[in-house]
Amino acid sequence: MSYPSGPHLRQPYGHHPQQPDRPPPPKSVTSAIVLTMAAVAAVLLIGGFAMFLGLSSGQAPNPSAVPTPASSPPAAALTSTGYVPFFPPRTHQGQGPALLRIDPTTGQGLITLTHAGSANFVVTTVDAAGAELDLVNATGHYEGTRLIGSDNSQIIALRIQADGAWTATTKPLLDAQVWNGPTIQGQGDQVLRLDRPIGRHTPARASHPSKGVFIVHVIGDSTELQIDADDAFSGEFLLKTGTTFVDIHADGPWTLSRN
């Protein structure tokens, strides 16, 4: 048996010849690769989290969905402060005298009051400065709706003098009874909302056959007194341009009519 001539060295098991060292990549290339990988990871993480939220809420993710803005209240409901008083409506109940705290409000709203007693039923508003203003002064059973508040004061409470059970329901102006025909009839205190604002000065007639107070204000860009009677009344008044509400303070039945 013959062997190749010259020395022949066997390499140990598992050892391979050492390869020449390769130069490391430039730092700028390395930084770019790292930044690219981080950006991809961030996009995948955010996308996965959004998909998880959509699935957990029972809705499939919709990349084209656009949030719907909250609807604004009707313009007719806004006062000059941009706030809608007494919304949603809220009913308070009580028995006898009370100082009833209500949600503070700036601007005008409605309050419907009832009284089941037999003695005096007196209700006054209390504003943030402690000033009081008469709202109702009746004897015995009472049921009516009054205009409450103004743009210049914040009503925070009602002072109630009563000998029986009473209720007080605050609600926005748009909940007023609608006057949508030529003639409307009612009893006692009431606030009416015209089906549409008066476009031009319109004559109207009012009748209040019983004795007692009968006061009518028309409300549009401003509030104007049209009728102030202490006895039976029958006559004309003016629905001025822009009139939207009619505020009636009466002791008995009444009828309003317009062309």
Look at residue 241 and tell me whether its pLDDT is greater than 60. yes
Rounded average pLDDT over 51-70: 36
Query: Under 8 Å CB-to-CB from 109, ≥6 apart: which residues?
Result: 85, 86, 147, 148, 149, 170, 171, 172, 173
Look at residue 126 and tell me whether its pLDDT is greater than 80. yes
What is the DSSP code string of the chain? ----SS--PPPPTT--PPPPPPPPPPHHHHHHHHHHHHHHHHHHHHHHHHHHHHHHTT----TT--PPPPPPPPGGG--TTS--TT-S-EEEEEESSEEEEEEEEES-EEEEEEE--SSEEEEEEEETTS-EEEEEEEESSEEEEEEE-BTTBEEEEEEEE-SSEEEEEEE-GGGSEEE-SSEEEEESSEEEEESS--SS-EEEEEEE-SSS-EEEEEESSSEEEEEEESS-EEEEEEE-TT--EEEEEESSEEEEEE-
Q: Please report the pLDDT score of residue 8 as a whole number.
A: 36
Look at residue 3 and tell me whether its pLDDT is greater than 60. no
Rounded average pLDDT over 221-242: 94
Look at residue 158 and tell me whether its pLDDT is greater than 90. yes
Q: Would you place residue 46 in the very low, low, confident or very high pLDDT band (cuts 50, 70, 90)?
A: very low
Model pLDDT for residues 18-30, shown as the tens digit of each residue: 444 545 544 444 4
